[in-house]
Amino acid sequence: GAGVSQSPRYKVAKRGQDVALRCDPISGHVSLFWYQQALGQGPEFLTYFQNEAQLDKSGLPSDRFFAERPEGSVSTLKIQRTQQEDSAVYLCASSSRVGQSTGELFFGEGSRLTVL
Amino acid sequence: AQSVAQPEDQVNVAEGNPLTVKCTYSVSGNPYLFWYVQYPNRGLQFLLKYITGDNLVKGSYGFEAEFNKSQTSFHLKKPSALVSDSALYFCAVRGGYSSASKIIFGSGTRLSIRP
């Protein structure tokens, strides 16, 4: 497809389980971002990749969160030992520009994670 | 630290009337300002941005926004609202002196247009 694709769209996990969320950015986009959006809130920055390099991971809330983009295209956000406070929508966005300056990000529909 | 505030959780407007969705910001350095819209079960969509130049910026779907440096505001406007404009709107800002500075989103304003 032409847009950013995320899977799964919905994920229910038991507390303590590991989850993996996938993002397929728009082909050729060098920049990829992960955001966390809690109910009723705006997206919160998690991490940023430029091609395969993770240039900023300052928004990852704990060492249970890990993201990778090994070949500079598809990215995976992994959450280990999930906790209830991890319940949120995880948004992926990509951009053809380097960095975050231009702000014109293309977002996927998100992966809604519910931790029971 | 940079921040962005959307003081109204919800804005209600009659179709055909002008609409304004408010946004104020706080950054160091020159601000880069953005508006995004989120329709139900859809991803966020870019509407418009201010980087430099004219204070009035025009974007998609007839929306525009006015950058006001003295009031540190970037309100979203539309002269005549449509029912299809009903959605969640997010203001975002990137400030600082480094291209590595992050984009920060506001908490969102739900716009409801009644027929």
Q: Label residue B53 by pLDDT band (50, 70, 90).
A: confident
Cα B20–Cα B22–Cα B25 angle in degrees, nearest 5:
150
For A97, the token pair is: 């520009």
pLDDT value at residue B79: 96
Distance from CA of A47 to the nearest CA of B (A): 10
Distance (Å, whole) CA A94 – CA A2:
12
pLDDT of residue B42: 83
Instruction: Report pLDDT for B97.
Output: 60
Cβ A78 vs Cβ A18: under 8 Å = yes
CB atoms within 10 A of CB A112: 18
Q: Using a CB–CB cutoff of 8 Å, tell me whether A56 touches chain B.
A: yes
- Is A108 at the interface with chain B, CB within 8 A? yes
Tens of each residue's pLDDT in chain A, 116 residues: 579 999 999 999 999 999 999 999 999 999 999 999 998 889 999 999 999 999 889 999 999 999 999 999 999 999 999 999 999 999 999 988 776 666 688 999 999 999 99
Cβ-Cβ contacts under 8 Å, B34 against chain A:
103-104
CA geometry: angle A85, A54, B92, nearest 5 deg: 60
pLDDT 10s digits, B11-31? 999 999 999 999 999 988 888
Cis peptide leading into B40, omega within 30 of 0? no
Q: Looking at the complex, does the CB of residue A96 fall below 8 Å from at least one CB of chain B?
A: no
State residue A98's pLDDT score: 72
B33 and A100 Cβ atoms separated by less than 8 Å: no
Mean pLDDT of B73-102: 87
Mean pLDDT value across residues B97-108: 77
Q: Quick one: pLDDT at residue B98?
A: 61
Q: Alpha-carbon distance A21 to A115, whole Å? A: 14
Tokens encoding B98: 């480094």
Q: Max Cα separation, chain A? A: 39
Instruction: Say what the pLDDT of residue B101 is.
Output: 66
Q: Residue B33 above 60 pLDDT?
A: yes
Q: Is the pLDDT score of B1 beyond 90?
A: no
Distance from CA of B109 to the nearest CA of A (A): 10
CA dist B5 and B72 (Å) reads 11
How far is the C-alpha of B72 from the C-alpha of B10, rounded, in Å? 21
